[in-house]
Amino acid sequence: MRPKDKIAYFYDGDVGSVYFGPNHPMKPHRLCMTHHLVLAYDLHKKMEIYRPHKAYPVELAQFHSADYVEFLHRITPDTQHLFSNELARYNLGEDCPVFENLFEFCQIYAGGTIDAARRLNNQLCDIAINWAGGLHHAKKCEASGFCYINDLVLGILELLKYHARVLYIDIDVHHGDGVEEAFYFTDRVMTVSFHKYGDMFFPGTGEREGKFYAINVPLKDGIDDTSFTRLFKTIISKVVEMYQPGAIVLQCGADSLAGDRLGCFNLSIDGHAECVRIVKKFNLPLLVTGGGGYTKENVARCWTVETGVLLDTELPNEIPENEYIKYFAPECLLNIPNGHIENLNSKSYISTIKMQVLENLRCIQHAPGVQMQEVPPDFFIPDFDEDEQNPDERMDQHTQDKQIQR
């Protein structure tokens, strides 16, 4: 047993105040609810809490194309009517709307994941949590599925500076297609995604195994805790044994929970959290992010319980008084009822998937080696001269925090 894990937790309240629009299922407000629940259970006292830096455009361009980053930086709700060609090219529109402070939102959630990876690299923590991250659909040159910047890819690129192999695990109900695509041709990242496939379910990928180190576990509607966690444990244990990663990134999309607005699984919070428990037991540097999740009070419950799991802390079922308590009414309990969607995953279907995945694992080269180059520097921050700044302009909270001695 190693000594108690040191946990770094990243949060910036500004990330929860953006608004995708009235009928949009993505509600960043769920991040404020999660954070207040974490505080209400006193979990913050057991972790180091950081406000992430806002990722610089040049950091985002380590994966995304510079012209796409530049466009996100420039576009606003007031000017979007002038750029219909670009909106189409970069796939901005109904699923990925342009809203107030869009770029800053991306900078904060991506900055959190990059910071988390850097702290792990420098052995300043054992586990790093960024619930605002996990936006796994964004592609190199376009937005997709409510995701604009793929923070996971940026975090993994950071981890690859120090680790020969990184394992990415995704338990969102949607296929982690953006991350799979980004690392499809390298053996230094293995991606494993457990997701719903079929019936034209977004994004429509993830049925077959990747050519190299991409493992997909396509599931049908209604999968329950027992089948999911059993399958998860078998596959992930084998993957870790074969691939021997130096670090793990775990995307905990909560839309795989029962009762999600866009999901179709029957997982309870306990079942979902069991996956986190399984991964934690490998005792490898671990970066944990959020992801999807569209019934916001359940998202907050789930990620709070999982923060507790990472801290080895059992939480009482009764939700303590907090700013968002009315969202959890009338019961105000952490546990949610199980789902009632028919489980279409027969025993034979599950065992076929398991056999296929284990067979594919046998075909890969055992823990590929890598010739390590000189490690690129962590941070490359454009200088700005404090003297040149206008003293009359109000300094934002972020800049003020930077100047405060811890």
Q: Is 184 part of any known ligand binding site? A: no
Q: Which of 31, 213, 193, 14 is nearest to 107 (CA)?
A: 14
The enclosing H or E element of 193 equals strand 189-196
Beta bridge partners of 336: none
Q: Is 95 part of any known ligand binding site? A: yes
Q: Is 272 part of any known ligand binding site? A: no
- Is position 137 annotated as part of the catalytic site? yes
Q: Running DSSP on this structure, what letter comes out for residue 144?
A: B
Q: What is the spatial distance between Cα 8 and Cα 10, in angstroms, rounded to a whole number? A: 7
Place of tokens 């499809």: 184
Set 137, 163, 195, 272: catalytic member: 137
Helix/strand/coil for 167: strand
Q: What is the spatial distance between Cα 310 and Cα 122, in angstroms, rounded to a whole number? A: 20
Q: What is the spatial distance between Cα 11 and Cα 14, in angstroms, rounded to a whole number? A: 9
Q: What is the spatial distance between Cα 45 and Cα 298, in angstroms, rounded to a whole number? A: 23
Q: Hey, what amino acid is at 222?
A: G
The enclosing H or E element of 40 equals helix 29-40
Q: Is 145 part of any known ligand binding site? A: yes
Q: What is the spatial distance between Cα 130 and Cα 11, in angstroms, rounded to a whole number? A: 7
**What angle is formed at CA 255 by the lines to CA 297 and CA 195, rounded to 5 degrees?**
165
Q: State the helix-helix crossing angle for 102-121 and 66-74, rounded to 10 degrees.
A: 130
Q: Which of 63, 41, 47, 115 is nearest to 287 (CA)?
A: 115
Beta-carbon contacts of 8 under 8 Å, excluding residues fewer than 6 positions away, are 47, 48, 50, 116, 119, 124, 125, 127, 128, 129
Q: Is 221 part of any known ligand binding site? A: no
Q: Is 340 part of any known ligand binding site? A: no
Name the binding residues for substrate.
95, 145, 294
Provide the annotated active-site residues.
137
**Binding site, residues?**
95, 145, 172, 174, 255, 294
Annotated binding site for a divalent metal cation: 172, 174, 255
